[in-house]
């Protein structure tokens, strides 16, 4: 599942060994647990929130690059830190959001969206004794 998102912690995944993770396509931890139990009804499972990459482009970095470009490539000291001296914090934030949207659209158009993520907030889930197949077999033999 390609991922570039505004909500980097929107999905959950499960693991049967705490190290190898599924694809992270579950909308809740409970949904991931339910899917894991189809593969492993008796053993412990692990769930995690999937932290996906978020495009974080700084508007300040862009305006500073423009100033350096004017000064270095054109020798224009007269630029006097253009446009950094004029752009307010809100305007730089607006620029950053616009650049992130443009990058996201470009990456999706060309198939460059990452399909990787980092497992965070890992939790182990043991099956209650009454739910294990072993416990059911033991009860059946009594």
**Tens of pLDDT along 15-63?**
999 999 987 789 999 999 999 999 888 889 999 998 877 777 777 787 7
**43 DSSP assignment:** S
Mean pLDDT for the chain overall: 78
pLDDT in the model for residue 3: 45
Q: What are the CA-CA distances from residue 136 to residues 41, 103, 127, 141 (Å)?
A: 12, 54, 13, 9
Residue range 61-69: mean pLDDT, rounded: 79
- Hey, where are the domains in the chain? 11-54+114-128, 59-110
Q: How far apart (Å, rounded) are the C-alpha atoms in residues 35 and 14?
A: 8
pLDDT digits (tens, 9 = 90+) for 78-98: 666 667 667 788 888 888 888
**130 DSSP assignment:** G
């Amino acid at each position: 599942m390609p991922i570039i998102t505004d909500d980097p912690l929107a999905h959950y995944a499960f693991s049967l060994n705490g190290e190898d993770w599924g694809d992270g396509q579950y909308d809740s931890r409970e949904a991931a647990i339910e899917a894991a139990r189809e593969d492993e009804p008796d053993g412990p499972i692990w769930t995690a929130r999937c932290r996906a990459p978020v495009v974080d482009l700084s508007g300040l970095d862009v305006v500073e690059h423009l100033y350096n470009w004017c000064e270095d490539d054109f020798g224009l000291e007269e630029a006097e830190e253009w446009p950094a001296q004029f752009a307010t914090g809100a305007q730089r934030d607006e620029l950053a959001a616009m650049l992130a949207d443009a990058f996201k659209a470009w990456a999706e158009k060309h198939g460059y969206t990452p399909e990787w993520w980092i497992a965070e907030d890992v939790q182990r889930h043991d099956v209650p004794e009454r739910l294990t197949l072993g416990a059911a077999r033991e009860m059946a033999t009594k």
